[in-house]
Chains A and B, each alone.
Chain A
C-alpha cells in the first residue's frame, strides 16, 4: 500500500517537473505555434489505481490541475479540465470494462490493459481534458474550428508522448527483471 502511494507520488512529481520545465517551454514560431503543446501530466491521472475512491480521485485531479496552474500562472484552468477528466473517468472505465469486471490489481497502463484498450482509454480521456482546457482558455466560441484543430493536434502530441512513456517504462521493467 505504502509502496503504491510512493510510486504514485514519484510519478506525480516527475510528470509535473517534465510538464512545467520542458513541455510548457515549447514555443514554435510561426503558423504552428500553440498547436503542438502536449500536456503529459494527465498521464498521472490516467494511471491512478482502478479501484481508487471516487471522491479521492476528484480531489487528486483538482490538486494536480491546481499545481500545474500555479506554475503556469493560469488559476483554475487546468484544475477545471482535470476535474472533468476525474468525473468522467470512473464511468468510462466502467463502460470499457471486460465482462467479468476489473481485477483490483490491474495496472492502468499499456501492459496491463492491452494496447488497443489503453489507446482508446488514453485517447478519450486526453481529448476530453484538452477540449475542456482549451474551451475554458478561450471562454468563447469565437474561432471554433481553430480551437477544435488545436484540441486535436495537441491531443495527438500528448497521446504520442503517453505511448512513448509507456514503452520507455515497460522496457525498463523488463530489463530490471
Chain B
C-alpha cells in the first residue's frame, strides 16, 4: 500500500495527465448530439449571447449594402404602386371588383444560415411558427424567388433553397405566358434551367422569366431570372438556361409569402380530382 502511494506521488504528473486525457477522450467519443447538448447546454446562454452580439456587429458591417437593397426595393415598389400609373381602367376595375380581398401576406425574416456550395442547399430563417410561418410557404428575396419552407419550429424555419436538386418552381415566360418549371442542376449558384417549354414557343436571350401561380405556392409574376442561353431545341421541348435574379451568395433578408386562400384552393382542387 505504502509503495502504491509512493508510486502515485512519484508519478502524479503523469497520472493526472492520463486522467484528464481519458476525460477528454470520453468527451470526444461520446460527442453525440446528446453529449453536445449537455455540454453546450450549460453555457448556452453565454455562448448564444456572444454569437448574437457577433452577428450584430457583422450585420452592422453590411448595413450599407442592406440599405442599398432596401432603397432599390422601395423605389421599385413605389413604381409599381397604383398611384404611379395613369390607368382609368384599373380604377373602374377596382370599383367593380367586390373581391378586394387580401390573398398574400408577407412576413419578413432574416437569413441566419445559408449555403450555396452543396448539391442540396438549405437556408435557415429567424422566424418560425410563432410568426405564422408554415411548411410549403414560398420564400422570396427582394430580387426574386428564393425557395420553399420545409420545416418550422417555434422560432426558426428551414427553407429548401432554389439551389436544391429536388426544387421545381412553376414558372412562365413573361411575354407570352408559356409555362414550364425551373430546376437547378447543382452547378453554379447563378444559373438554373427552365424545362418543359414547348419547342414552338418564341424565346430570345434576355427574356424575363417569372413565377406562374399554378403551384399555388408562389404568387404570380415574381421574378425568377432572365434567359441567358438557348440550348438545342429538342423534339418537343426547348432547353433554356436562366441567370437567376437572386444572388444566393449574399442573401440577408427575405420575405415568407403566406397564401391566405391556399387551403380553400387546395380543398377545391382535391375535390375535383376525386370526382373525376
Interface of A with B (CB < 8 Å)? Answer: 20-21, 29, 54-55, 58-59, 61-62, 65-66, 69-71, 73-77, 79-80, 83-84, 86-87, 90, 136
CB-CB under 8 A from B25, the residues of chain A are 76, 80
B40 to chain A, nearest CB (A): 6
Known: A71-B47, A75-B27, A75-B39. A62 touches B54 (CB 8 A): no
Contact of B17 among A20, A29, A58 (CB under 8 A): A58
Contact count band on B:
20 to 34
A23 to chain B, nearest CB (A): 13
B215 part of interface (Cβ distance < 8 Å):
no
- Whether the Cβ atoms of A55 and B28 lie closer than 8 Å is no
Cα-based distance from A20 to B53 in the complex (angstroms):
13
Contact of A55 among B13, B43, B54 (CB under 8 A): B13
Known: A55-B13, A75-B39. A70 touches B28 (CB 8 A): no
- Whether the Cβ atoms of A83 and B31 lie closer than 8 Å is no
Contact of B26 among A76, A90, A136 (CB under 8 A): A76
B124 to chain A, nearest CB (A): 16
- Whether the Cβ atoms of A79 and B17 lie closer than 8 Å is no
Contact of A62 among B20, B39, B40 (CB under 8 A): B20
Please, could you name 6 A-B residue pairs with CB atoms under 8 Å apart, sorted by A?
A20-B50, A69-B27, A70-B43, A76-B24, A76-B31, A83-B20
Interface of B with A (CB < 8 Å)? Answer: 12-14, 16-17, 20-21, 23-29, 31, 35-36, 39-40, 43, 47, 50, 54, 117
Q: Which of A54, A74, A76, A90 has the most CB of B within 10 A?
A: A76
CB-CB under 8 A from B54, the residues of chain A are 21
Contact of A74 among B31, B47, B50 (CB under 8 A): B31
- Whether the Cβ atoms of A83 and B24 lie closer than 8 Å is yes
CB-CB under 8 A from B27, the residues of chain A are 69, 75-76, 79
- Whether the Cβ atoms of A70 and B39 lie closer than 8 Å is yes
CB-CB under 8 A from B12, the residues of chain A are 55
Cα-based distance from A86 to B16 in the complex (angstroms):
11
A33 to chain B, nearest CB (A): 10
CB-CB under 8 A from A70, the residues of chain B are 39-40, 43, 47
A15 to chain B, nearest CB (A): 15
